[in-house]
Amino acid sequence: MPELPEVQTVVNHLANKIIGKVFLVAQVKAPKMVSHNFAAQIKNARVSGVSRRGKMIIITLADGRYLLSHLKMTGQMIYLDKLGKASGGGHPITFTGFDVTKPNQFTRIILDFKNGGQLLFHDIRKFGWLKIVNTQQFQQIVSKYGVEPLTQEFSLNKFKEILAKRPKLKIKQFLMEQGLIAGIGNIYADESLFDSSIHPLRPAFKLKDEEIKGLRQSIIKKLRQAIKLGGTSVNTFVSASGERGGFVAKLKVYQRGGQPCLRCHSILSKIKLGGRGTVFCSNCQK
């Protein structure tokens, strides 16, 4: 699933292309993926902003409503300009003959803009969604998200405060809990824990002050680095132009189970934690 840096990469691509555009016609081929009466509600809405909260894409509409979207496991959001040039991105789809830049059997929703250009939502498994909400519904939805790790709100004190909310939770699972910290998934949880030499199974309350400080710095560092490089693409992300995110070359532990630790050369351990593969170095991470 795309995580904070991948969703931010999609948002950055889309913001350059769709702000100021007006939606015209919506073709919905998978009705369960959109909110009630979607096609009628999106018609004539003007895009005034594109942003992100956690892993959710927020398209602000000029009339005060919001078009929200989540790529979930296999979604891609692609903007095609009049000439068919694509921007955006999401989960890579690798079926033979699949072309992100053309509507195809995995295109579930097509949104046409006035004066040309289209927004395509491709999704193999149809877990992704788009919904239109008013301001009140929007506030309610975003209030369930935890602190954004790349904002000033994510201070050392704030991190300690939220760690105290779920003291017994294993730190890896804690980092992935969207209601506590928003936007971190399997990739950046594993990478941040390795970077700060913390064992993923440690309960939150056992972290010492110095470790909490180090972990916070690692989280911020890894997310920023990944955004700069256009995200990570191991099974989770590809940009519309087919470019793989540059952070894949920076991965130290994610999907490297059984390979040597890049720091101490011990073999990296791989376990299941909360149903998710978790890779760490039992020598470096205590």
147 binds Zn ion (CB under 5 A): no
The secondary structure of 167-234 as a DSSP string is TTSBHHHHHH-TTTBSS--HHHHHHHHHHTT--TTSBGGG--HHHHHHHHHHHHHHHHHHHHTT---S
Work out whether 221 is an interface residue with Zn ion (CB under 5 A). Answer: no
Binding part of the chain for Zn ion, among 193-201, 209-217, 244-252, 257-265 by CB under 5 A, reads 257-265
Residues 61, 21: contact at Cβ < 8 Å?
A: no
Q: Rule CB under 5 A: is residue 261 a binding residue for Zn ion?
A: yes
DSSP state of 253: S
120: closest CA among 77, 61, 59, 58?
Answer: 77
> How many degrees, rounded to 5, is the angle at CA 123 between CA 120 and CA 128?
95
Token reading at 216: 């916070």
Q: Is 217 in the site for Zn ion (CB under 5 A)?
A: no
User: Residue 263 interacts with Zn ion (CB under 5 A)?
Assistant: yes
Q: Which of 152, 168, 264, 275: binder of Zn ion (CB under 5 A)?
A: 264
CB of 261 to Zn ion, least distance (A): 3
**Helices 156-163 & 209-228, crossing angle to 10 degrees?**
110
**For Zn ion, which stretch binds (CB under 5 A), given 102-110, 165-173, 212-220, 277-285?**
277-285
What does the chain come to in residues?
Answer: 286
Residue 83 in contact with Zn ion, rule: CB under 5 A: no
10 or 268: CB nearest Zn ion = 268
- Any catalytic annotation for residue 92? no
198: contact with Zn ion by CB under 5 A = no
Interacting stretch for Zn ion, rule CB under 5 A, among 48-56, 126-134, 174-182, 256-264?
Answer: 256-264
Per CB under 5 A, 258 contacts Zn ion: no
Catalytic residue check, 243: no
**Other Cβ atoms within 10 Å of 125 Cβ, number:** 11
Q: For residue 283, state whether it binds Zn ion (rule: CB under 5 A).
A: yes
Using DSSP, state whether 11 is helix, strand or coil: helix
Told to judge if 31 belongs to the known catalytic residues of this protein, a careful annotator would answer no
> Cβ 262 to Zn ion, closest distance in Å?
8
Provide the minimum distance between the beta carbon of 211 and Zn ion in the complex, in angstroms, as a whole number.
16
Which strands, in side-by-side order, build the sheet including 56-61? 47-53, 56-61, 66-70, 129-133
Question: What is the identity of the amino acid at 80?
Answer: L
With CB under 5 A as the contact rule, which of the stretches 9-17, 105-113, 231-239, 266-274 interacts with Zn ion? 266-274
The Cα-based distances of 266 to 10, 190, 262, 270 in angstroms read 36, 17, 8, 13
Shortest distance, position 193 Cβ to Zn ion, whole Å: 12
Catalytic residue from among 43, 46, 102, 276 = 276
Q: Considering the candidates 17, 52, 55, 72, report the single residue annotated as catalytic.
A: 55
Distance CA 166, CA 177 (A): 10
281 contributes a contact to Zn ion by CB under 5 A: yes
Residue 3 among the catalytic residues: yes
Q: Does 120 bind Zn ion (CB under 5 A)?
A: no
Contacting residues toward Zn ion, per CB under 5 A: 261, 263-264, 266, 281, 283-284
| Residue numbers annotated as active site | 2-3, 55, 276
